[in-house]
Amino acid sequence: MTAPRPVPTDAELAASLEGDFVSAYADVNGVRLHHVTGGSGAPLILLGGWPQTWWQFRKVLPALARTFRVTAVDLRGMGGSDKPESGYDKRTMARDIHELIRHLGHDAAFVAGHDIGASLGYHLAANHPESVRRLVTIDLGVPDASWLEIGMLPGSDEQAAALAHGSGGYPWWFAFNQVRGLPEELLVGRFRPVIDWLYGHMLLDQDSVEEDARRIYAHAYDTRDAIRAGNGWYQTMRQDITDLASYDPVTLPVLTLAGETSYPALRAQMGADKGTDIRVVEVKGSGHYVPEEQPQIVVRELAAFFAADSTPAGGR
């Protein structure tokens, strides 16, 4: 039997990208964060989601690096970053990124986040608006009180049938990831089926996430600490909702990119209670994993949205 190929290191993955990308670490807010940076221009911070790592941005990083000094971050608990026992509420994680922006030598940056990273980006803008020039959230709303009403069962026979036939993203993991201790017992060393189920149900084009990427993500989440830490992003959801209720709507410009299935819900969720300048755009031909499924559209939308920023050079 042929031994499986080793999973590349973050440094090897970074070096494989066009744009002189470098893998590095930063000690901020009491946690060590791994990040990958390349390119030149205005600073842009990319924040990813579960269950992925910074590598989910591999298809957009080279193009973005032609215009931006772009940094893709492994969040607290993700990939090569520390996995402490606590600190997974988005207010604390927002402080991580606020301090990382300063560590990288920037007063402020453009920020784009997908999935958990989208929620984190919003909490960053709400708590540290001086650090965010413009914000893009990708295929996730900001968890608010309405999320507490998500049902434990599929909402219709049609949704149940779709799930049975391998499509639809009914979020069973919202509940599963709340259980403390059990996911580690069940999934340690066996995380690959979770990766394949999520992509199987939430991609429109299965070929858009290749075998090597799936191996990288499964490897990143195969340990007890990684499973526990990733679940921590979900176990703080009630605290995140409480914190959100204390914020005023953000006033900086926000663009939300939504896959086809998410667009109707996100158009409703990202309303005036979230911000005074929010635009929601549907990404045709994409499910949930937009940066991997439609990278050219992501690059185009980010470049146009950030180019409209009027902050003077050398300003905040």
Question: Which domains can be identified in the chain, with CATH numbers?
Answer: 10-307 (3.40.50.1820)
Beta-carbon neighbour count of residue 290 at 10 Å?
25
> pLDDT per residue over 50-88, tens digit each?
999 999 999 999 999 999 999 999 999 999 999 999 999
Q: Residue 310: is its pLDDT beyond 90?
A: no
Greatest pairwise CA separation for the chain in angstroms: 60
- For the annotated catalytic residues, the residue numbers are 115, 234, 288
User: What whole-number distance in Å separates Cα of residue 57 and Cα of residue 73?
Assistant: 10
Residue 293, H or E segment: helix 290-293
Provide the token pair at 262: 């998410």
pTM metric for this prediction: 0.96
CB 195 within 8 A of CB 214: yes
> pLDDT per residue over 26-37, tens digit each?
999 999 999 999
How many residues belong to the chain?
A: 316
CA–chain centroid gap for 15, Å, is 22
